[in-house]
Amino acid sequence: MSDSLRIQSLSMLFLVMAVQILALAVTPAMSVSQERVFEDPTSAANPIYYMLLILAFTALLLLAIKKNLSWLVSGFIQIAIASSIYYLAVAFLPPIYALLAAAGGLLLVRYYPEWYVIDGLGIAVSAGISSLFGLSMTVIPALILLVILAAYDAISVYKTRHMVSLAEGVLKMKAPLLFVVPKSRGYSFRRDQSILSSSDQTSPADEKPGSRASSGKRGAYFLGLGDAIIPTILVISANTTFPPGGILGVNIPALGAMLGTYLGFLLLMSTSRGRPQAGLPFLNSGVILGFLAGCALAGVSPF
């Protein structure tokens, strides 16, 4: 791995770390409200409902992309982003100000989708979603969800490849569902025309000599928000399920899950097969193993 690629990979890791730290920071305020995704956080059916939601969302986006209804996809995504910003902001602000924050975020994404705007909103949105779902599931449903999603991600990237098609479609629309890490200081996501015609792989895990991504057509690396959100759900669930403690109010199982996420990410970045990589098998394995190690160290039973 070159020095430049190593810097880009570490930048992506810092984005994942920022999501987890912010999610932990906002969880106490968000937990005060009784709004939850699932009525019973302990139900083993919650991961099934989550998967049905993902499948429906994916099918809708793929159908709209296939039918060239980019306006529908863009509008749906922007509404989802604005709703996420509102839910996060309303935990700290009166509803009218939270609504203004959501509207401001929506306007920024619509009229000035520069890479640092996309990344800043991506961190906020990912933290809010992670906190919401982490509060809505105890660790057992969260563990089941992560195992299911790791398998689904591998199948959708390596077998059916529909997730690759979805990522390319979302990227061409410059929808704010990806973190953007520039390759050079002067890069502008708004003016990047290469993503409109290139179907290169977007992960730095594939940036190796001989791979299509190393052709230099794109000016940035991209990481899906889901790769930051999904592992963080277990971090939040662990920190709210088990007694507080550890460091700065983060208990040992949650700390172990965080460290496991980072190790899984570094392993992902060191892996190349010359084709798109499924991130969740690496990230979810890391966060689960880190969580279990944290439980063993804290002397608590995860089951």
Query: What tens digit of pLDDT does each residue of 263-275 get?
Result: 999 998 887 555 6
Domain boundaries, the chain: 3-298
Q: How many Å apart are CA 195 and CA 53, to the nearest integer?
A: 28
pLDDT tens, position by position, 18-69: 999 999 998 988 887 766 777 788 888 888 888 888 888 788 878 877 777 7
Q: What is the pLDDT of residue 18?
A: 95
Q: What is the pLDDT of residue 217?
A: 64
* pLDDT of res. 273: 52
Query: With the C-alpha atoms ordered 182, 186, 188, 192, is the resulting torsion angle positive or negative?
Result: negative
Q: How far apart are CA 130 and CA 231, in angstroms?
A: 8
Q: Is the dihedral of CA 84, 90, 93, 97 positive or negative?
A: positive
Buried b (16+ CB within 10 A) or exposed e, 189-210: beebeebeebebbbbbbbbeee
- Give the rounded percent of residues in the chain with a pLDDT score beyond 90: 32
pLDDT digits (tens, 9 = 90+) for 145-202: 999 999 988 888 888 887 777 777 777 777 778 898 888 888 888 877 666 554 333 3
- Burial of 260: CB neighbours in 10 Å, binned 0-12, 13-18, 19+: buried
What is the mean predicted confidence (pLDDT) over 201-219? 41
Residue 72 has pLDDT above 80, yes or no: no
What value does the mean pLDDT of the chain take? 82
Q: pLDDT at position 216, please?
A: 45
This prediction has a pTM of 0.85
Nearest to 20 by CA among 248, 180, 187: 248
